[in-house]
Amino acid sequence: MSWRAAIARYRASVAEDGHTFVFGLEGDRVIDGARGGNSARWINHGCEPNCEAVEDGTRVFIRALRRIRPGDELLLDYRLAVDGRRTAAVKRLYACRCGAQGCRGTMLA
């Protein structure tokens, strides 16, 4: 779907907690993992990720950046973008507490 459609769909819930399953693609498209998405929608943010998302046509693949052992949590660096100013409230909404040594303290790009 387009970003515009995704924003309209999530406008109310994002205002509450910032949580969505929207995955931004190149261009003006997104995947809404909340509608028929697979288990990749549960991959959390980490400032020192062990995975990266790779687009290939209309699909997104999750590729390991290093060896991942059974039981390790899969982590992507979300590098989120938000419209408007990065107010204190926005920074709190997207705060990161991943615990990595190099934690940026934010899920924002």
Tell which one of 6, 47, 75, 93 touches Zn ion (CB under 5 A): 47
> Smallest distance from the beta carbon of 95 to Zn ion, in angstroms?
9
Nearest distance in Å: CB 72, Zn ion: 16
Please tell me whether residue 75 binds Zn ion under the rule CB under 5 A.
no
Per-residue 3-state assignment (H helix, E strand, C coil) for 5-49? HHHHHHHHHHHHHCCCCEEECCCCEEEECCCCCCHHHHCEECCCC
The contact set with Zn ion (CB under 5 A) reads 47, 96, 98, 103
